C-alpha cells in the first residue's frame, strides 16, 4: 500500500484553526475522498470547518478544479457555434431553461444545458421535460455533440463521470448541515458547469423567500465567488441577481410549467417569465459576441418555437402530444377584497411539493401533473370569494397539507395603490 502524501486529520486541523489549505492539500483531499481513502466522517469534519472558517477565492478555485479533475470534461469545440450555458440556483416556478435554451440557439449560439432534478420546494428541469411523452434526458457525449450541431441546444442529465467528487460531497453536505457554505455551494455548481466544456456561462442567482439565498448580501457573495471561479478557469462568466420572493409566472409543477413555457415560445406567456428569459438570453449572447441578435424578436417570429420543437423531437419527444394532467383539482379562494401586496414563493413551492410535484429524497418519484396555478400576483386586484390558487393532484388526500402551506401565502391590502413592485433583476456581477 502506497503512502499518502497528506493526513486527513492534519488537513482538517489546518482549516479548523483558520489556516489556508495549500493547492497540493486540496488536490489530495478531494481525490482521496473520491477514492475512499478519506472517510465520510473526516470529510464531514472538513466540510464543517470550511463552513465555519471559509475559504479564500484561490482556495475555492483550487477546490473547484480538484472536483472537476475527479472526472472528465466534455470537449465541445467543434459544434459549429460558440457555446454558452445558464445555471439557476433554483426557485419556484423557475421554468426559464425551457424557453431560454431554444431561444439562444435560434440566435446563433450553442447551448449545452446539463440540468438536474428537483429536491424539496424547488423544481427540476429534467422532471419537467420528462412529462413530454417520449422525451429522454439521458444522452451520451456523441449524441450531445450531434444535437448541438443540428439543433443548437440540448437539455439533458449530466453523466456520472462529470465531477463525481461533487456528487459524493453533495450528498454528504445534505446530511451534515453544511449545505449553506458559500465556497462549497459555489464549487459544487461551478465544477459541474465547467465540466460541460462551455466557453461562457451566465448565472441566475435567485434571492428571496423561495430561493436558497434569502438576502441580497449573501446572494451577491455567492454570485461574486462563482464569477471569480469561472473567470479564473478561463470561462467568461457573469451573474444576474434575480427576485424569488414572488414565484415566476403562474405555475409551479412539472407539466404545468412545460405548458407555460410553450406559451412563452409561442409569443405569449407571463410577462415576468418572458422578461427574465430575454434578459438572460441577452447576457448569454453578449458573452459569445452575438450582441446584434434580438432575442425578443426570435420569440415573436417563431424561430425559438421552431428550435424547441426540433429539440424535443431530437430527444425522442413528441412536441404535439398532450401533456399529462392531474386527476383532481381544488380551488383556494380569497377571504377579502383588495390589492395583492405579496405572494410568497416559498409557500407556493411547499404546496406544489406536498401535492406531489417535488420530492423529499433524490430517489422519490414525482407526479407529472401535480402542482399549483396562482391566479393573482402582487399589484393585482382580488375580490373576496374569487380564486387565488388552483391545486392539481393525483391524490385528493394531498390537498389539505397543500392548503395549510398556503394559509399565509397571500397578503391583501385595502383597495388602493399596490406599491412599488420589487424589480425582477436586482443586480449584475461580472
Residues 43-72 pLDDT 10s = 999 999 999 999 999 999 999 999 999 998
pLDDT digits (tens, 9 = 90+) for 116-163: 876 666 778 999 999 999 999 999 989 999 999 999 999 998 888 888
Polymer length in residues for the chain: 430
Annotated active-site residue 87? The verdict is yes
Task: List the chain residues with pLDDT less than 50.
Answer: none
- In a 13 Å sphere around the CA of 356, the CA atoms on its Cβ side amount to 23
Domains 84-314 and 328-413 agree in fold? no
pTM of this prediction?
0.93
What is the predicted pLDDT for the residue at 417? Answer: 57
- Number of Cβ within a 10 Å radius of residue 385: 10
DSSP code at position 178: -
Alpha helices in 181-294 (DSSP H): 182-195, 216-232, 254-265, 271-287
Q: Do 43 and 175 meet the contact criterion of CB atoms below 8 Å apart?
A: no
Annotated active-site residue 121? The verdict is no
Q: In what order do the strands lie in the sheet with 371-374?
A: 251-252, 371-374, 387-393, 328-333
d(CA 366, CA 358): 6
d(CA 170, CA 185): 9
DSSP H or E run through 37: none
* C-alpha cell recorded at residue 70: 475527479
- Number of Cβ within a 10 Å radius of residue 325: 15
| Nearest Cα to Cα of residue 131 among 323, 318, 263 | 323
Task: For domain 84-314, give the fold.
Answer: Pyrimidine Nucleoside Phosphorylase; Chain A, domain 2 (3.40.1030)
Task: Output the CATH code of domain 328-413.
Answer: 3.90.1170.30
What is the predicted pLDDT for the residue at 364? Answer: 76
User: Quick one: 275 exposed, middle or buried, by C-beta within 10 A (0-12, 13-18, 19+)?
Assistant: middle
d(CA 91, CA 348): 10
Domain spans of the chain, in order of start: 8-54, 84-314, 328-413
Q: Spot the catalytic one: 15, 62, 87, 95.
A: 87
**Cα-atom radius of gyration of the chain, to the nearest Å?**
22
Annotated active-site residue 329? The verdict is no
Q: Spot the catalytic one: 173, 290, 309, 392.
A: 173
What is the predicted pLDDT for the residue at 419? Answer: 53
3-state secondary structure 101-150: HHHHHHCCCEEEEEECCCECCECCHHHHHCCCCCCCCCCCHHHHHHHHHH
What is the predicted pLDDT for the residue at 420? Answer: 59
| Nearest Cα to Cα of residue 89 among 216, 201, 275, 219 | 219
DSSP code at position 353: I
Q: Spot the catalytic one: 27, 166, 228, 272.
A: 166
Q: Spot the catalytic one: 62, 95, 192, 392.
A: 192
Q: Do 367 and 357 meet the contact criterion of CB atoms below 8 Å apart?
A: yes
Amino acid at each position: 500500500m502506497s503512502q499518502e502524501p497528506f493526513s486527513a486529520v492534519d488537513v482538517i486541523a489546518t482549516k479548523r484553526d483558520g489556516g489556508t489549505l495549500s493547492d497540493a492539500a486540496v488536490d489530495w483531499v478531494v481525490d482521496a475522498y473520491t477514492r475512499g481513502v478519506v472517510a465520510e466522517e473526516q470529510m464531514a469534519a472538513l466540510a464543517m470547518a470550511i463552513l465555519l472558517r471559509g475559504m479564500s477565492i484561490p482556495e475555492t478555485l483550487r477546490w473547484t478544479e480538484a472536483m472537476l479533475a475527479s472526472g472528465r470534461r466534455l470537449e465541445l469545440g467543434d459544434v459549429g457555434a460558440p457555446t454558452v450555458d445558464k445555471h439557476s440556483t433554483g426557485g419556484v416556478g423557475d421554468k426559464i431553461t425551457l424557453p431560454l435554451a431554444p431561444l439562444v440557439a435560434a440566435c446563433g449560439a450553442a447551448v449545452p444545458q446539463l440540468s438536474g432534478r428537483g429536491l424539496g420546494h424547488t423544481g427540476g428541469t429534467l422532471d419537467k421535460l420528462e412529462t413530454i411523452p417520449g422525451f429522454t434526458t439521458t444522452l451520451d457525449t456523441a449524441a450531445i455533440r450531434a444535437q448541438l450541431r443540428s439543433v443548437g441546444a440540448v437539455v439533458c442529465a449530466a453523466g456520472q463521470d462529470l465531477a463525481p467528487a461533487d456528487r459524493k460531497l453533495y450528498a454528504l453536505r445534505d446530511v451534515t448541515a453544511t449545505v449553506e457554505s458559500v465556497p462549497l455551494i459555489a464549487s459544487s455548481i461551478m465544477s459541474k458547469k465547467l465540466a460541460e466544456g462551455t466557453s461562457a456561462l451566465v448565472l441566475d442567482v435567485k434571492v428571496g423567500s423561495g430561493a436558497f439565498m434569502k438576502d441580497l448580501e449573501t446572494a451577491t457573495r455567492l454570485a461574486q465567488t462563482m464569477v471569480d471561479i469561472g473567470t479564473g478557469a478561463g470561462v467568461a462568466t457573469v451573474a444576474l441577481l434575480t427576485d424569488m420572493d414572488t414565484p415566476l409566472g403562474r405555475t409551479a409543477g412539472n407539466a404545468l410549467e412545460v405548458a407555460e413555457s410553450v406559451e412563452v415560445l409561442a409569443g405569449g406567456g407571463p410577462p415576468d417569465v418572458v422578461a427574465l428569459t430575454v434578459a438572460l438570453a441577452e447576457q448569454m449572447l453578449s458573452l459569445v459576441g452575438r450582441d446584434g441578435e434580438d432575442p425578443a424578436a426570435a420569440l415573436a417570429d417563431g424561430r425559438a418555437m421552431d428550435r424547441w420543437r426540433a429539440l424535443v423531437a431530437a430527444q425522442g419527444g413528441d412536441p404535439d402530444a398532450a401533456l399529462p394532467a392531474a386527476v383532481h383539482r381544488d380551488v383556494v379562494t380569497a377571504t377579502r377584497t383588495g390589492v395583492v401586496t405579496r405572494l410568497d414563493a416559498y409557500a407556493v413551492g411547499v404546496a406544489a411539493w406536498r401535492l406531489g410535484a417535488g420530492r423529499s429524497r433524490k430517489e422519490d418519484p414525482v407526479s407529472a401533473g401535480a402542482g399549483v396555478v396562482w391566479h393573482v400576483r402582487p399589484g393585482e386586484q382580488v375580490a373576496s370569494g374569487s380564486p387565488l390558487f388552483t391545486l392539481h393532484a393525483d391524490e385528493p388526500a394531498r390537498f389539505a397539507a397543500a392548503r395549510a402551506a398556503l394559509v399565509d401565502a397571500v397578503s391583501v391590502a385595502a383597495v388602493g395603490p399596490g406599491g412599488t413592485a420589487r424589480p425582477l433583476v436586482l443586480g449584475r456581477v461580472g
